[in-house]
């Protein structure tokens, strides 16, 4: 079957949930037996989100091949349980950069380079390039909101593709807001009408309208929207608010969204098989226990900064049929005097990744509390490095033990910038030349890790070799390895050449694990990551021990 393309646009306002809606539709089509891929096209000029402030854009998601991408790719991977790559996320910056490079190289033979056709042709090229593995359906999410000037080249490109590929191979889905005015007790359709009018003014007539609302749309409202927006009455669907984001596929299935898509695109007539999703939602709705986890970080004012982490912890709770209550604590506010108060009633402490010195001392203080009070602890990336620093200072009593990132003159750089680290990782040169050149000393993407038997890490994974995703520059300084292990901090995960430390853990502690990689990027609701399962399990044991 020729690949069918579904384009998802959004109107009225941002953060309506295009990514979740697109991922949920992908999951439904996958449940119908179709092979699905997804792509996010972002209108901002940055080449990728790698240098963007988490407070502005949220988390930077990392794929196996080392691409720094939009956080929506995390939704795609979690809902479809497939691995994305660089070709699944493009920005205006990357598109323009490619066109300008071609122009400088002479590819256009001296012609005048313009938005149409050169930019739009480049966009169409990357869209068509996403379906390289004979996928049945490719879902393409257009970032931003209809009416934004930045989105126009992308919208023009997808308009052209319907003519290029034919109506039976291209479908437009538009997500809008239908607000409920509580004072009047009414749903208002005017924002949706204006949004669709804006979309139609640039030549795109939506085939399906998803109406984000806090209440269900009745038949009269749907009929009104259909009339004013020129769509079939059975093509207007409620995308209602739900308790958990993992209820969205079931909610859209109940509305009949996948059935309408199948009819419009002439897809095989198969019903979606959703027992795993129903079982997942049942566990989330009816937990048998609850655990409180503190996330001690510095980006806590924008929860999107820790999106994958948040979801991975929820997945860990699913392993034990437990609800997970997340307490976000600003590490800048933690001191030795108030740490016990800040972490009172907490059953597990997690310190996530990050860059820069701000808030680091608060993280170290929280880690010392977790170590000394036997509270389950999970350190990720910088969180692992802070655990090493804390242990070096307070157990090994190393003078000014620190990371070179925070104190370049420290006499004890237990965390250091390994110059020419890729010389120790020949596969970086062999497999990821672009990432070596792009990231300099940054380690990006998936790398293998060997796990020592008889450790907490091995008890979680149940295997001796895994691949996990990285995004960092600094590493554990192997010169201190023997001293740390003799004092009780076991190096339980290392690179195959034994040059890089991937996992540390404390002997004699109920559960104290730090990992240099980002396990949250590989956790799925239907396949939770083993480290998060074990962390939540240890936190429940701590709680119930009382």
Catalytic machinery residues:
381, 518, 520
Cα 223 versus chain centre, distance? 36
CA–CA separation, 208 vs 257, rounded Å? 9
Q: Do residues 28 and 49 touch, judged by C-beta distance below 8 A?
A: no
CA dihedral angle for residue 199, residue 126, residue 26, residue 224, rounded to 10 degrees: 10
Q: What are phi and psi of 132, to 5 degrees?
A: -100, -10
Strand residues in 149-235 grouped as ranges (E)? 170-177, 180-181, 186-187, 208-213
Q: Note if the bond before 117 is cis, omega within 30 degrees.
A: yes
CA–CA separation, 14 vs 3, rounded Å? 29
CA dihedral angle for residue 527, residue 353, residue 296, residue 452, rounded to 10 degrees: 60
- ∠ CA 102-106-108 to the nearest 5 degrees? 75
Nearest to 528 by CA among 216, 6, 41, 78: 78
Cβ partners under 8 Å of residue 330, min gap 6: 297, 298, 300, 301, 359, 362
Cα 537 versus chain centre, distance? 23
CA–CA separation, 151 vs 172, rounded Å? 15
Structure tokens given for 448: 């293998």
């Amino acid at each position: 079957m020729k690949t069918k393309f579904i384009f998802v646009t959004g109107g009225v306002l941002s953060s309506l949930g295009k990514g979740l809606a697109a991922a949920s539709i992908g999951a439904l089509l996958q449940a119908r037996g179709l092979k699905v891929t997804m792509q996010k096209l972002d209108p901002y000029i940055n080449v990728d989100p790698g240098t963007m402030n988490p407070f502005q854009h949220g988390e930077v998601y990392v794929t196996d091949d080392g691409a720094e991408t939009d956080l929506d790719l995390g939704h795609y991977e979690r809902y479809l349980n497939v691995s994305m790559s660089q070709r699944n996320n493009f920005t205006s910056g990357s598109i323009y950069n490619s066109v300008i490079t071609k122009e400088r190289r002479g590819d256009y033979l001296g012609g005048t380079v313009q938005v149409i056709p050169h930019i739009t042709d480049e966009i169409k090229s990357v869209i068509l390039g996403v379906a390289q593995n004979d996928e049945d359906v490719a879902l393409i999410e257009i970032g931003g909101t209809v009416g934004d000037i930045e989105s126009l080249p992308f919208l023009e490109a997808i308009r052209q593709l319907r003519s290029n590929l034919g109506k039976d191979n291209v479908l437009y889905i538009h997500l809008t807001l239908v607000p409920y005015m509580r004072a009047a007790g009414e749903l208002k359709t005017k924002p949706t009408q204006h949004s669709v009018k804006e979309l139609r003014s640039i030549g795109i007539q939506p085939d399906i309208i998803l109406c984000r609302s806090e209440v269900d749309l009745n038949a009269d409202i749907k009929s009104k929207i259909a009339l004013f927006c020129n769509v079939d009455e059975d093509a207007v669907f409620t995308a209602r608010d739900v308790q958990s984001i993992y209820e969205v596929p079931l909610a859209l299935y109940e509305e009949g969204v996948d059935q309408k898509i199948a009819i419009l695109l002439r897809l095989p007539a198969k019903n979606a098989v959703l027992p795993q999703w129903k079982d997942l939602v049942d566990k989330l709705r009816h937990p048998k226990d609850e655990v409180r986890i503190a996330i001690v970080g510095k980006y806590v004012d924008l929860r999107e900064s820790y999106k994958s982490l948040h979801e991975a912890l929820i997945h860990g709770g699913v392993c034990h049929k437990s609800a997970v209550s997340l307490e976000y604590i600003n590490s800048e506010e933690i001191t030795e005097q108030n740490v016990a108060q800040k972490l009172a009633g907490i059953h597990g402490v997690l310190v996530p990744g990050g860059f820069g010195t701000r808030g680091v001392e608060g993280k170290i203080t929280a880690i010392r509390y977790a170590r000394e009070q036997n509270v389950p602890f999970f350190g990720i990336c910088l969180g692992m490095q802070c655990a090493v620093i804390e242990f070096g200072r307070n157990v090994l009593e190393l003078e000014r033990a620190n990371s070179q990132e925070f104190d370049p003159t420290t006499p004890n750089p237990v965390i250091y910038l390994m110059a020419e680290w890729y010389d120790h990782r020949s596969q970086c040169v062999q497999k990821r030349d672009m990432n070596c050149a792009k990231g300099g000393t940054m380690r990006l993407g998936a790398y293998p890790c060997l796990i020592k038997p008889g450790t907490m890490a091995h008890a979680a994974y149940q295997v001796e070799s895994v691949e996990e995703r990285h995004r960092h520059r600094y590493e554990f300084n192997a010169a201190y390895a023997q001293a740390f292990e003799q004092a009780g901090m076991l190096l339980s995960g290392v690179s195959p050449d034994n040059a890089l430390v991937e996992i540390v853990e404390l002997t004699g502690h109920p559960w104290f694990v730090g990992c240099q990689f980002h396990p949250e990027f590989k956790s799925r609701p239907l396949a939770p990551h083993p480290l998060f399962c074990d962390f939540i399990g240890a936190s429940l044991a701590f709680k119930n021990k009382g």
